[in-house]
Amino acid sequence: MNYKNITISFFILTFQSIQAISPGKWSPIDKYVLGLEKNGPKEEQVKDFKGNLIYSAKYEYNDEGQLIKEIYTRGNGEKDGETVYTYEMNRVVSEELFSKSGLQEKKIFKYSPKGDMKEIIVYDMQGREVMKCKVGVFWNELISDGEIKWIPLKESETFVFKKSSENPKMYFQEVYNEKKELVATIRYFLNDKNQLIKRENIQPNSKRMSEIEYNENGKVKSFSFYSFKDGDWKLQKIHELSY
């Protein structure tokens, strides 16, 4: 069983492009959803390995600098839905993904009395619960430790985060299925400023990698996705952010 992408929306299955906060995943947009930073990028463009525009997103923020909406467009200019965020007490409480035909997916975020995020529940377009994640530990804006239950499949995955004993700038995340079998290892590499610069996802039958670049203000400028084929890393697509 391969490590699943919990973002099961209609467009991400095709492009794996714009994604919000998701267990075991990382996105430069997460920090703005979580409220760790304000007023993030205004636009994101996704280009293939040839430089052709295949997807884009525009981001809207409220007066407090919180991300409230993502608007998606395909490379041919066709609108492709939007994601809307709702906040209460300065905490994100819901994320709703819409296509042209209406609501496709909804995430509900639950918190402890102290205000720590403890659970994420994902519902499909019929309002059926399809995934539940227990949040164990946050590492920066990444859910580093937790458990995912796939309701329809009656399967589960746990992931734990560890620091490398050999490289102080590397961390790794191990993902186990319900049989306690290791199904994926994700490695995170930091630079001297403790910024994430590379992420490798290693599975039994595949290897993927993303590389992150920052501008002079320390904000993410771009991140590129690669797959390992024929003994080498092949560029698949690049995401470019503008502020």
User: Is 79 exposed, middle or buried (CB count within 10 Å of its CB: 0-12, 13-18, 19+)?
Assistant: exposed
Strand partners, 111: 117
For the chain, the structural domain boundaries read 12-242
Report the pLDDT value the prediction gives residue 21, as an integer from 0 to 100: 58
What is residue 62's three-state secondary structure? coil
Euclidean distance between CA atoms 176 and 180, whole angstroms: 5
Strand partners, 187: 172, 200
Report the pLDDT value the prediction gives residue 212, as an integer from 0 to 100: 96
Report the pLDDT value the prediction gives residue 23, as an integer from 0 to 100: 54
What is residue 119's three-state secondary structure? strand
Report the pLDDT value the prediction gives residue 26, as an integer from 0 to 100: 75
Tell me which architecture the domain covering 12-242 has in CATH. Beta Barrel (2.40)
Q: How many CB atoms lie within 10 A of CB 48?
A: 15
Q: Between the CA atoms of 105, 147, 112 and 106, what dihedral angle is there, to the nearest 10 degrees?
A: 0
Report the pLDDT value the prediction gives residue 141, as an integer from 0 to 100: 81
Low-confidence ranges of the chain (pLDDT < 70): 1-24
